[in-house]
Amino acid sequence: MSYTILKNYFSKELNIKELVESHFAHEDVSIIKESMCEPMKRLHEVFSSGLVKGNRMLESSIGGIIYPLFPASNCFKEIHIIDVTDASVNQCKQWLENGDEATDWSFAAKFVSQLEGNEDGWKEKEEQVRSAVKGVFKYGLLDSNSKNSVAIPEVDCILTVFLFNVICQTKEDFKHNLKIFTSWLKVGGYLVFIFALNMTCYRVGDQLFSTLTVDNKFIRKVMTDTGYVIEKEEVIPTAKENDLTDYKDMVCIVAKRVRKT
């Protein structure tokens, strides 16, 4: 990448809809295999294996993306969504409410329906997700009272995809945010975590945005320190270089919360 000016995920210059539609949602996105297809395959495997189950799930992912909800909605009939910016809350609600400005997630719905052996059932899959989502909440990471305003009971599972890459600027941010999200999870519940490794930045339009650069060793240690035991871990290598982002690999981790910290 030749860009040098770095902003962050909370910058007003970040167009969330452009981020989602240039990196994730559509078949013609240049990195769709890595940004959506490979993570979706892993989520399908996790949620169809029987390892992770329960009644209530909390989901929080980059940009209010919808695709992680498609495989998860087979296991959880009550899904609560947390987003950390007003724009990502709106991005998510637009799709849930069939808004005029909603991103089209039909490619993702068709993809997971094919994985499940029901290629023609993608519209039903979309409605399954809409029915399962019970609320979309804004969580202000810099507001110490924000958690008290998010009325979500303890959950059986937390699912987060690429969010920690963009909301954390330091390793202390990572530890702090993981502890916050963990506070919603029951002891005995599971965290399903997808993260891009050794990533420094991503591009949206002509703007470059910074991320936290960490490796898998750091993630494993922080999870252990926060009260988790990792039960499943898979590193997914990058297929090819691109001009949208510079991560080297992705990791999918399924970890059980075994104690409070």
The overall average pLDDT reported for the chain is 93
pLDDT of residue 250: 96
CA–CA distance, 228 with 223 (Å, rounded to integer): 5
Q: How far apart are the first and last CA of the chain?
A: 40
- pLDDT > 60? residue 3: no
CATH of domain 6-257: 3.40.50.150
- pLDDT > 80? residue 113: yes
Question: For the segment 223-255, what is each residue's pLDDT rounded down to a tens digit?
Answer: 999 999 999 999 998 877 788 999 989 999 999
Q: What is the pTM of this model?
A: 0.94
- Listed range (106-120, 130-144, 201-215, 227-241) with the worst mean pLDDT: 130-144
pLDDT of residue 257: 98
- pLDDT > 60? residue 201: yes
Q: Which amino acid is at 217?
A: K
CA–CA distance, 25 with 15 (Å, rounded to integer): 15
Domain ranges of the chain: 6-257
- Listed range (27-36, 56-65, 137-146) with the worst mean pLDDT: 137-146
Question: For the segment 145-191, what is each residue's pLDDT rounded down to a tens digit?
Answer: 555 567 788 999 999 999 999 999 999 999 999 998 999 999 999 99
| Beta strands at 56-59 and 133-138: parallel, antiparallel or unpaired | unpaired
Question: Bridge partners of 7?
Answer: 209
- Listed range (5-14, 32-41, 104-113, 122-131) with the worst mean pLDDT: 5-14
Averaged pLDDT for residues 115-133? 96
pLDDT of residue 1: 46
Question: For the segment 141-152, what is each residue's pLDDT rounded down to a tens digit?
Answer: 755 555 556 778
Quick one: tokens of 218?
Answer: 């750091």
Half-sphere exposure of 81 (CA within 13 A, CB side): 31
Question: Bridge partners of 204?
Answer: 207
